[in-house]
A and B are shown apart, each in its own frame.
Chain A
Amino acid sequence: DAGVTQSPTHLIKTRGQQVTLRCSPKSGHDTVSWYQQALGQGPQFIFQYYEEEERQRGNFPDRFSGHQFPNYSSELNVNALLLGDSALYLCASSLPTDTSEQYFGPGTRLTVT
Chain B
Amino acid sequence: GESVGLHLPTLSVQEGDNSIINCAYSNSASDYFIWYKQESGKGPQFIIDIRSNMDKRQGQRVTVLLNKTVKHLSLQIAATQPGDSAVYFCAENFYGQNFVFGPGTRLSVLP
Residues of A within 8 A of B (CB): 4, 33, 35, 40-45, 48, 56, 58-59, 90, 92, 99-107
A-B contact pairs, 28 of them (CB 8 A): A40-B103, A40-B104, A41-B104, A42-B4, A42-B91, A42-B101, A42-B103, A42-B104, A43-B89, A43-B101, A44-B101, A45-B99, A45-B100, A48-B98, A56-B98, A59-B1, A90-B44, A100-B34, A100-B93, A101-B34, A101-B46, A101-B49, A102-B46, A104-B44, A105-B43, A106-B42, A106-B43, A107-B43
User: Which A-chain residue is minimally distant from B32 (CB atoms)?
Assistant: A100
Interface size on B, residues (CB 8 A): 24
Contacts of A45 in B (CB 8 A): 98-100
Q: Does B96 contact A (CB under 8 A)?
A: yes
Residues of B within 8 A of A (CB): 1, 4, 32, 34, 36, 41-46, 49, 89, 91, 93, 96-104
